[in-house]
Amino acid sequence: MLYYEKILIILFFICFFLSLYAQKVKIEGLTSVYTNELCMYKIILDPSVGSATCFVICGKYGSLVGFDGDTITKVNIKGDLPIQVRWGNTVTSDAYVRVFDVNNPSGIHAELKNINIQKISDFNLQLKSSSGENLLQYTSFNMEALIDPAYVAQSYTWSGDDLTITSGQGTNKISCNFSNSGYKEIQVKVISGGKEFYAKKSFTVFPKWLQGPNLVCDKGVFYIENLPSGMILI
């Protein structure tokens, strides 16, 4: 067997065994975070390995809390090892957390990559209504939560005064109506990257039915000839 063939075989087995070991190490944690956010990550070592001494690296975009702000530290892993990373001010989608074997720093044993660091101020949560700010009791309309398209929302939770949601709860768009008249608000809570964001919108809701020729309401006196569209006079 030629010399270079022996070298190739040795390199193959080295890579093979390193890949087997790499499968024994995992990293879990958020991949969508915000600038200056403190995040918890977990390095998980398969029990069959026993223990290992590794380097943990979070690169130039963050620092490992509890290790004097270092971006790299040496740790002993046995089972699960929680670590905290404080992400910096740089907006990027290339942040990562990596684990290297101390005896083989050139090989990546585990990697959580493409971590997206966003600015909270860029989230820009807004509410859009399919109707105006004045509407009738029981009138169906749509509400939509708008965020910057560069961001990903994990959940939407809608609520409001005397609000009946007929469809869409848990999504960015709902169909709904108000069961009572008066001054009402609709609020949405959006979770993105482990953080909560809120927005609300106000409405004046008129009663569906009026008794008598004239009645004083929130917006003044309504006469038969200028009732709001859809209002029923009894």
Mean of pLDDT values over 75-96: 86
Question: Could you report the per-residue pLDDT of 125-169, keeping only the tens digit for each?
Answer: 889 999 888 889 999 999 999 988 777 888 999 999 999 999 999
What lies within 8 Å, CB to CB, of 233 at 6+ separation is 209, 210, 213, 224, 227
% of residues, the chain, pLDDT over 70: 75
| pLDDT for 1 beyond 90 | no
The answer to whether the predicted template modeling score (pTM) of the entire model surpasses 0.85 is no
Q: What confidence category does residue 208 fall into, taking pLDDT thresholds of 50, 70 and 90? A: confident
Give the least confident one: 15-19, 28-32, 74-78, 208-212.
Answer: 15-19
At 3, give phi and psi (nearest 5°): -60, -45
Rg for the chain, CA atoms, rounded: 29
Q: What confidence category does residue 5 fall into, taking pLDDT thresholds of 50, 70 and 90? A: low
For residue 11, how far is the Cα from the chain centroid?
Answer: 42
Q: According to the model, what pLDDT value does residue 16 have?
A: 45
Q: According to the model, what pLDDT value does residue 38 have?
A: 83
Q: Could you give the CA distance from residue 57 to residue 101 in angstroms, rounded to a whole number?
A: 11
Closest CA to 36 of 118, 109, 123, 136: 118
Amino acid making up residue 42: K
Of 93-102, 139-148, 202-211, give the range with the top mean pLDDT.
Answer: 139-148
Q: What is the dihedral sign for C-alpha 91, 96, 97, 98?
A: negative
Q: Could you give the CA distance from residue 120 to residue 36 in angstroms, rounded to a whole number?
A: 10
Q: What is the dihedral sign for C-alpha 168, 169, 170, 174?
A: positive
Mean of the per-residue pLDDT values for the chain?
79
112: number of Cβ within 10 Å: 19
Q: Could you give the CA distance from residue 158 to residue 179 in angstroms, rounded to a whole number?
A: 16
Closest CA to 168 of 113, 130, 224: 130
Judge contact between 74 and 102, C-beta under 8 A: yes
What lies within 8 Å, CB to CB, of 168 at 6+ separation is 158, 174, 175
